[in-house]
Amino acid sequence: MKCTRCHARATINLPSHNAAFCRACFLLYFCRQVERTITKEKMFTRDERVLVAVSGGKDSLALWDVLITQGYQTEGLYLDLGIDAYSSLSRQKAEHFARLHHVPLRIVPLAEEAVSVPVAARFTQRPPCAACGKMKRYFFDRYAQEGGFTVLATGHNLDDEAARLLANVLHWQMEYLAREKPVLHPTHPKFVRKVRPLYRMSELETAAYAFLRGIDYVIDECPHSHGASQLFYKEILNRIEAHMPGTKLTFVQEFLRSAQSLFVAPDGSPPQECESCGMPAFAPLCSFCRLMHEVERKRRQNRDQSDTDSLPS
Amino acid sequence: MKCTRCHARATINLPSHNAAFCRACFLLYFCRQVERTITKEKMFTRDERVLVAVSGGKDSLALWDVLITQGYQTEGLYLDLGIDAYSSLSRQKAEHFARLHHVPLRIVPLAEEAVSVPVAARFTQRPPCAACGKMKRYFFDRYAQEGGFTVLATGHNLDDEAARLLANVLHWQMEYLAREKPVLHPTHPKFVRKVRPLYRMSELETAAYAFLRGIDYVIDECPHSHGASQLFYKEILNRIEAHMPGTKLTFVQEFLRSAQSLFVAPDGSPPQECESCGMPAFAPLCSFCRLMHEVERKRRQNRDQSDTDSLPS
């Protein structure tokens, strides 16, 4: 198999693009594709400071790597979710990457700033992913705002986008479909523009990029993701892709090109400021503060219960 | 496992409805569901004569059976596609059903009225399913019109609808999505209203109905359907359904309830009458007549070629 671009021996085959590349041409192709996405979708310019949400996994580190090599001003934001060995290992990977590339990385340990994901899940008796999502969204916006960033970039890849789109389409989640865009503009001055520069790059491509660039990333998935429906949708899409290469990209791209604008989010009142923390909120308290209050209430109940239990009868 | 309705021993389990039924209650449930669809979607009334497109398979015979038992005025229309043993067997099943229920059945042998599907495919060098679809649409409209019917019912079930919807959504086929409805109203006086009363009943349910009612149907699929993409999409949807029972129905129902109206067919000029056959056409010739002309031209070319080949050199 020969490189489609330079005819040297190819190292990676991309059936969805009907192409194959050698190492150098693949890295060039990858960077150009990401650059094209950033420019075409008007995600950000080289004059802006970009906050990169880094998990220590292949996607976010590949994204950060591309942005650094392409000369963007970046800073990493790592949320330590407090998920035992997974969090400590992924934190190490993020720190290692930042040191190696001499780029700033802000670490936010949730256990100190709020509560860890497992504790939030235990006290609210809801799936860990629900609490994790709420806290991520909150701290992304808060630290972007505090750090004077206008844009936050996440490493969601094509497989993530396609899986989310499939889930939303199978149930026709109209509000979610209305918000399914690679660039989300803020609806409040304390919200930040959110962009997904890798949304056209497949998981295979970002993994290949990370591998070929020698990026040291955490390979294990978050232990809470096992059995998560997103993995199931990804598996389904992989079967479709194997049968009809290019379908994932068509599914996402054609949605954005032809269908997305048909789905309109209902006109709600604009967010107010949370009575407790001052961040934007669609209720008197923002959803993060509601989560924190719920955890606090359950903690108190548990304490009262154990005090009652220890009284002499 | 007990019947959800009468608590007798259940013979069929329907995880997608979180229900199980004995034979009698299942047949009642099936007929009521179909009746509800016909009424709710204003498909037709008992005052109308309904032309039922019958293939000899479980779906169309189950549909015909329900319509007869529910007291609708029906007539069957069987197109003999000329696909060897498959066609002769399925024709026998359709004829047997009509005789048994004393209902009229019109047989249209394509090989005599036009050309058989294999011949059309051979001469046009296109997939048999393309020619078959064109000819079916033509004869359905023509015989409905000639017989004074206002409505044609087909046996498409939930699995057919979901597979078609998935295919159209994966590629965001906007025009097809605009026409994806269980009732299609005619856009020309020579077109007929087309309805799909089984669109909410799964393949499992129609098969169970046919089996429990003792309907003798052709079990084999059309030999040309092997490897067809619809079967692939059905397999994909079955995997999703096994993981999340009820998803197929939600996918189709929510599409129709929330999303379908967003997709609007482009305003084209209304159909004119075909210069050759007088049926509605979106070009000087209708697509059936174009197909026939193409077959005729290729046939002539082949004859001329063989005449030339047989000339003494």
Q: Which of residues 262-291 of A touch B (CB under 8 A)?
A: 262-263
Q: How many CA within 13 A on the CB side of residue A112? A: 5
pTM score, whole prediction: 0.91
Question: Are B250 and A170 in contact (CB < 8 Å)?
Answer: yes
Within an 8 Å CB–CB cutoff, is residue B234 touching chain A? Answer: no
> Are B195 and B32 a contacting pair, CB within 8 Å?
no
CATH architecture of B31-262+287-300: 3-Layer(aba) Sandwich (3.40)
Chain A residues with CB under 8 Å of B164 CB are: none
CA distance A207 to A195: 20
Confidence of residue B214 (pLDDT cuts 50, 70, 90): very high
Within an 8 Å CB–CB cutoff, is residue B236 touching chain A? Answer: yes
CA distance B248 to B245: 8
Interval B225-232 mean pLDDT: 81
pLDDT of residue B312: 67
Token match 């409905």: residue?
Answer: B144
B62 Cβ neighbours under 8 A, 6+ residues apart: B155, B198, B206, B209, B210, B213, B215
C-alpha triplet A304, A310, A312: angle, nearest 5°: 125
Residue B164 C-alpha, separation from nearest chain A C-alpha, in angstroms: 13
CA A245 from chain centre, in angstroms, equals: 25
How many residues would you count in chain B? 313
Of A172, A236, A250, the CB nearest to B258: A172
Mutation pick from B161, B166, B169 vs chain A, by most beta carbons of A within 10 Å, is B169
> Are A16 and A242 a contacting pair, CB within 8 Å?
no
Of B172, B239, B240, the CB nearest to A258: B172
Of A232, A243, A255, the CB nearest to B172: A255
pLDDT of residue A37: 98
Please give the radius of gyration of chain B, using alpha carbons only, rounded to the nearest integer: 21
One pLDDT digit (tens) per residue for chain A, 313 residues: 899 999 999 999 998 899 999 999 999 999 999 999 999 999 999 999 999 999 999 999 999 999 999 999 999 999 999 998 899 999 999 999 999 999 999 999 999 998 899 988 888 888 888 889 999 999 999 999 999 999 999 999 999 999 999 999 999 999 999 999 999 999 888 899 999 999 999 999 999 999 999 999 999 888 887 667 889 999 999 999 999 999 999 999 999 999 999 998 777 778 899 999 999 998 999 999 999 999 999 888 888 887 777 766 5
Across chain A, which distance is largest between two alpha carbons, in Å? 84
pLDDT of residue B130: 87
CATH 3.30.1330.30 given to domain A30-299? no
Question: Are B170 and A240 in contact (CB < 8 Å)?
Answer: yes
CA distance A3 to A103: 33
Q: Which chain B residue is nearest to residue A257, measuring alpha carbons?
A: B172
- Report chain B's terminal Cα–Cα distance, integer Å: 80
Taking one residue from A and the other from B, the number of pairs with CB-CB distance under 8 angstroms is 52
Interval B256-263 mean pLDDT: 95
B109 three-class SS: strand
Of B232, B239, B240, the CB nearest to A170: B240
Within an 8 Å CB–CB cutoff, is residue A260 touching chain B? Answer: no
CA distances A99 to A93, A94, B89, B250, Å, are 10, 9, 74, 49
Q: Write the single-letter amino acid at B196.
A: R
Interval B134-140 mean pLDDT: 93
Within an 8 Å CB–CB cutoff, is residue A29 touching chain B? Answer: no
Chain A residues with CB under 8 Å of B240 CB are: 170, 236
pLDDT at B227 exceeding the cut of 70 = no
Domain ranges of chain A: 30-299
B138 Cβ neighbours under 8 A, 6+ residues apart: B279, B286, B287, B288
Least confident range of A63-77, A153-167, B135-149, B259-273: B259-273
ipTM tops the 0.85 cut: yes
Higher per-residue pLDDT: B297 or A308: B297
